[in-house]
Amino acid sequence: MFPSSLDMGIIFLTQTGIGLVGNSSLLCLYNFTLISGRYLRPTDLILNQLVLANSIVLFSKGIPQTMAAFGWKYFLDDVGCKIIFYFYRLATGVSFSTICLFNGFQAIKLDPSICKWMELKARSLRFIAFCCFICWVPHLLINSCLPVIVSGPLHKKNSSVEENYGYCSWHLSEDLLDSFYTLLYFSPDILSLGFLIWASGSTVLVLHRHKQRVWHIRQQRPSSRPSHEVRATHTILILVSFFVTFYSIYLTLTIWMTLVANQGQWMVNTSVLVASSFPAFSPFVLMLRDTRIALLCSGCGARRAALPDPPSGS
């Protein structure tokens, strides 16, 4: 069982606040590299879209759920609920597709034999931007049905299936509640999850083979710092394991809540916490593994040290 509504509100507020701070910091970093060209990497455009999608998820799900947990039940009308749910599902799907795109580019970069014709294109920012744009198109179309089945807060039960999220409700008629509809609606997420596991496994396998080939060289020149291959492998393993675990649980809970009526509020709270965990905490994984942040911080520290001391007062 979950604690009281006030405690849940504090948990949602803390998670959302931490996530927004982390994603905002990364947005500033990636936009700085894209505009200035300094420390620019081809995948910065992909990661910039990932943190943007994560921010939209937190804004459209974390903030309303926090307000509902603190007792604000009717702060959105019917139109507001449709917009909020549409952006939430859109951003969640784009987050799926973007992290798959990121791992796919990493796999092709490390092993060009996977897709030889994309080896050179994977280094073009224009081609990467086109791929990022493609990530939005299917989710814009798939979620076009949400305004029909999402409405404002429930005041009375008058349909076959009603799920109250505290501030909005989700209605489905009996003829839509079947396995085919559920599989069709969530098939992009399931396919993205499968592709993500394949791409990440391929990347880690290539890095492991490369590490074995150069192992004897590093034995002659031992170093206390981990190699780039080890750092990249750790980043992929942590990020993907984090993503797959939380979004697998989220997909299971969402499908269950779609197919089964009269779910308790604890199920809704669990789904929101799990769905917001990756958008909230993944930026800090990227920060810890990105060496450019340390370079920027050291550069700022060097500039401060080079500034002359202010004159002392008389």
Please give the average per-residue pLDDT across 129-153, as a whole number.
84
Q: Give 142-162 pLDDT, tens digit per residue.
A: 888 778 778 777 554 444 444
Q: Give 154-197 pLDDT, tens digit per residue.
A: 554 444 444 556 678 776 555 555 556 666 677 777 787 788 77
The answer to whether 133 and 167 are in contact (CB under 8 A) is: no
Please give the average per-residue pLDDT across 242-269, as a whole number.
72
CA angle 175, 176, 182 (to 5 degrees): 145
Domain range list for the chain: 5-292
Q: Give the domain 5-292 fold.
A: Rhopdopsin 7-helix transmembrane proteins (1.20.1070)
The answer to whether 104 and 40 are in contact (CB under 8 A) is: no
At 129, which amino acid appears?
A
The answer to whether 150 and 85 are in contact (CB under 8 A) is: yes
Q: Give 3-33 pLDDT, tens digit per residue.
A: 457 888 899 999 999 999 999 999 998 888 8
Q: Give 36-72 pLDDT, tens digit per residue.
A: 877 788 788 998 999 999 999 999 988 998 888 888 8
Q: Could you tell me the pTM of the whole model?
A: 0.80
Query: What φ, ψ does residue 19 adopt, rounded to 5°?
Result: -65, -40
Between 22 and 262, the higher pLDDT residue: 22
